[in-house]
Structure 1
Amino acid sequence: MNSSPESHQGPRSLFRPGPHTLNWLIPLGMGALGWALYMRYMVVQPTLVALACEAGLESASCYARSAILILTHLYLFGAIALAVAAIQFIAPSLSAFAMGMVFAGFALVFQNEIAGALATMLLILSFARPGPATA
C-alpha cells in the first residue's frame, strides 16, 4: 500500500492563472508598463522638463519626477521586483504574481535591467511550481 499524501489527494496542479484572471492581469501589466514608459520618456528624460523642475516649478509631474529619480537611484523598483518574484517562486499566488509583474516592468523601464530581468525569470519559472491548494 502506498501511504504517500499524493496518493490520497492526487498531485497538486501547477500555478496557472485562469482566463478570467488573465482578463485583469493583462491590462494591469500593460497599464504599468505604459505608465512607466510615459513617465520615463515624457517626464524624467526631457531636458525642458528637467530644467523647469530644477528651476523651482511646483507641479505634480515635478514631484513624480523627483520621486522616480530617488527610487531609481536607490534601485528600489528592482529590489521590490526581485523580492516579490522570489516570494512568488516559493509560494505562488495571484497577488504576488501581479505585484511582481508590475514592479519587474518598472525595473526594466527605469534602468534597473538586471534585477528586473531576474525577477521576470523567476516569475516565468513560477509557472512550473505547484499552485495554491484548492479544495
Structure 2
Amino acid sequence: MSQRNFMPGARAWNVILVLGGFALGWAIYMRYALVEQSAVGLACLGVETGTCTVRAAVIQLFGYSAFGILALATSAIQLIRPSVPMFTIAAMATGAGLVMYNNNLSGVAAGLLLISFARPWRGARG
C-alpha cells in the first residue's frame, strides 16, 4: 500500500491562504507603518502606548531573529512529520519572517516547506 504525498485539500488550502494572508498583512503593516516610520519612532521616545510597546517588542524579536527561527523550526517539523496545521503555522511564520528582516532563515524555511510536498503523508485520504 503506497501512501500519497503531502497535499492539503481544497478546504484546507482556503484556510491556509486566509491565515497566511493575515500573517503577511500583519508583517507588512508592522514593518512599513510602525517599524520603519521615523515619525513613529520619534513619537515613541517618551510615551508608553500600546502601539509603542508592540513596536518595541517587534524590534526586539527581529533583532534576535525570532521570526526566522520560528519559521525554520516549524518548517523542519513539517518536513519530518507533515500535517496541515503545522504547514499553516510554518507558512505564516515564513511569510512574516521574510517581511520582517529575517530573510536568511525564512528563505531556508520556505525551501523546506516546498520539499515537504514530496513527503509521504499518513493523513491522506483515498
Q: Say whether the fold is shared (TM-score over 0.5).
A: yes
Q: CA RMSD in A?
A: 1.2
Give me the whole-angstrom Cα distance separating, in 1, the residues matched to 2:124 and 2:104. 35
TM-score normalized with structure 1 length:
0.89
TM-score normalized with structure 2 length:
0.95
Give me the whole-angstrom Cα distance separating, in 2, the residues matched to 1:36 and 1:132. 33
Q: Percent identity?
A: 40
Following superposition, the deviation at residue 77 of structure 1 comes to 0.6
Report if the CA contact (8 A) 2:87-2:113 is conserved.
Answer: yes
Which 4+ stretches in 1 moved above 2 angstroms?
A: 132-135
Q: Which has the higher contact order (CA 8 A, sep 6+)?
A: 2
Q: For residue 26 of structure 1, give the secondary structure of its aligned residue in structure 2.
A: helix
Decide which structure has the larger Cα Rg and report it: 1
Q: 1:133 to 1:28 in 2, by over 3 A?
A: closer
Deviations 1:77-134 (A, max 9, x none): 1011101100100110111101111111111011110101100110011000011245
Which structure 2 residue ranges, 5 or more long, are not aligned?
none
Which structure 1 residue ranges, 5 or more long, are not aligned?
1-9
Deviations 1:16-72 (A, max 9, x none): 000011111101111110110011000111001001112x22222111100100100
Give me the whole-angstrom Cα distance separating, in 2, the residues matched to 1:30 and 1:104. 12
Aligned to 1:53: 44
Aligned to 1:101: 91
